[in-house]
Structure 1
Amino acid sequence: MDYASPSTQFTFDVTKSTLVKKDNLNYINVLGISQLNTLENTSLLDIFLSANNIIEPHYHQKAAELVYCISGAATVSILNPYTKLIQNYPITPGQVANVPQGWWHYEVATMDQTHLLAIFNAPTPEVILGSDILKLTPADIMAHTYSIDENQWNKTVSPVQPSTFIGPPVTYNRNGNNHSHQSWHDPNQWYGIPYYYQNPSVLPYY
């Protein structure tokens, strides 16, 4: 980096860099080296969520993530690859949860007007999304690997739209789901990935 160059950037308005937007209450802004060229091993996602919205299960292949709660409340859930257990960490303003590099995790807002800051030790917050894995892995591979019916797999994942980022869908009817409002809020219960957000065409941030 030539710090004497007139193209050198030292400031940026993150509100002008939206990664994905579900609606006016649920969206993610991004800051990486593509937005601010003096960044080195730091980047962030500026996350806004209303209650019951979830940052879909995913992992960051090249960075650890520190999730800081600015307002509202959320539960950060992490699959510990050593214990094979889902660990749930509720956070409120001023509290953080740390996600080691490469660990499968997701965040659920438990209050309206939740604002989270996800900070990464990498110049770009690269991500592998659960929706991409589910939808882009060939159905015949899933069927053969797990000895399941290929047609049933296709039917099950048909609502999934890569890349999802924020779920559930705007049109989701909770009454049509087997999981109650209360049980979904219970961080001690894990039901896999019950919701999907069919967002507009958004390129994954790789």
Structure 2
Amino acid sequence: MHHRTKGTGANPLRRDADRTRTRMHAAFALTCLLAVVAGFALGRAAWTDGHHSAVIVARHRHVVTATTIGETAHRAGDRPSSRPVTVATATWHYPAQRPHTETVPVPAETRKGDTVRVWTDDAGSAAAAPPGRADIALNAVALGAAAVAGIVLVGGGLVAVRLRTVDARSARAWESEWAGVEPLWSGRPHPGPGAGDD
């Protein structure tokens, strides 16, 4: 019996379908590993690029003190899922004595005549704050996770399709083999040409 189990694929009970299933499971495991590596690399690249971009943006952003000249109001967020933003009309001077008046986001408890901090660009117009480390990290993690999920889903889908094909082929082969073995095993006569003519 030793010679039958020696070497790869020597087990007489293992069928080609079994070997194919093993290869497919190994391929899926490898796909998962590659997905993690690709996701990590993509996330790291996104972190590096995001940090570099944030440094460049920060060089052209300035914080100024503005004075509100109107009552606060609520404005819808930039995205449908965003919460409403409290805004008010405010005035400030930047650069030097150049005046600006715009509607900017303010804290909810702001009243007319209060001072607020406003981010501006080099021309003095209201601008978004440079992205922080948390925003950059969140974007990098989201991008890496999306890459992992996409690769795993595609790889898993291809493996699942292949396994279904193997299972269907194996079932047909099993039925064919059983049709030849069942009469001998059960002792019943094998139906052949002319059977049932009596």
TM-score using structure 2 length: 0.17
Higher relative contact order (CA 8 A, sep 6+): 2
Structure with greater strand share of residues: 1
Structure with greater helix share of residues: 2
Structure with the greater alpha carbon radius of gyration: 2
